[in-house]
A and B are shown apart, each in its own frame.
Chain A
């Protein structure tokens, strides 16, 4: 079945450092890919998405490119802030008569001043 694999955390960075969180996926079809973010005590919020190969999703300084050849969707940000501390989830959407999101385990990001 479909699956998503993310790097284990926590990822600990200093403010203004470069961020990469790796994500790879396995899918039988042509899924859409997403990054969701969960701040402490909150639900998940969509951060960015890409619906087809070579698409780049971007939002709030975060970017991820849908790489079909490597089945990857790595999340990057050039300069992180303390407020970016959260758990980041990579997910794919598989349509089998209804939308079904398959999530990775999440990667916790801790940014210190």
Chain B
């Protein structure tokens, strides 16, 4: 596989569940990102990892917990979510330098019931 792959593509979970989103990139990039895409709102940057170290946490609630075990994998652990957390969650990667292209995965469509 090439590019950025996200699994699952769709996820429905209850507010008391615990689930994880997975992202994998095969591009040799050093930076990985989680974005949240909600209807009629700009994409919101949630987390940034550079060389497996978190460098940005954009005031995201603690019910979202990222994990970056190596430069190719990024997880978003979810627990006790709210219905307003329903959105498309996009993973991206880029070379860890200035002004370079970000490559996005297809996203995970999350519905919290």
Q: A residues touching B (Cβ–Cβ < 8 Å)? A: 4, 31-32, 34, 36, 41-46, 49, 51, 89, 93, 95, 97-106
Name the contact of A4 in the complex, choosing from B42, B98, B102 (C-beta under 8 A). Answer: B42
With an 8 Å Cβ cutoff, the count of chain B residues facing the other chain is 28
**CB atoms of B99 and A95 under 8 A apart:** yes
Inside 8 A of B45's CB, which chain A residues have their CB?
Answer: 100-102
Q: Is the CB of A31 within 8 A of B42?
A: no
Residues of B within 8 A of A101 (CB): 33, 43, 45, 92, 102
Complex CA gap A97/B31 in Å reads 11
Q: How many inter-chain residue pairs (CB < 8 Å) link A and B?
A: 63
Asked if B74 is at the interface of the complex by the 8 Å CB criterion, the answer is no
Q: Mark B52-78, 1 if CB is under 8 A from A, else 0.
A: 000110000000000000000000000
Question: Given known contacts A103-B42, A104-B42, is B56 in contact with A98 (CB within 8 Å)?
Answer: yes
CB contact between A99 and one of B31, B42, B106 (< 8 Å): that residue = B31
What does DSSP make chain A's interface, helix, strand, loop or mixed? strand
Q: Does B2 count as interface, using CB distance less than 8 angstroms? A: no
Contact of B102 among A46, A97, A105 (CB under 8 A): A46
Determine whether the beta carbon of A43 is less than 8 Å from that of B107. Answer: yes
Given A43-B107, A105-B41, A105-B42, CB of A99 within 8 Å of CB of B102: yes
B92 partner residues in chain A, CB cutoff 8 A: 44, 101
Residue B90 is within 8 A (CB to CB) of chain A in the complex: yes
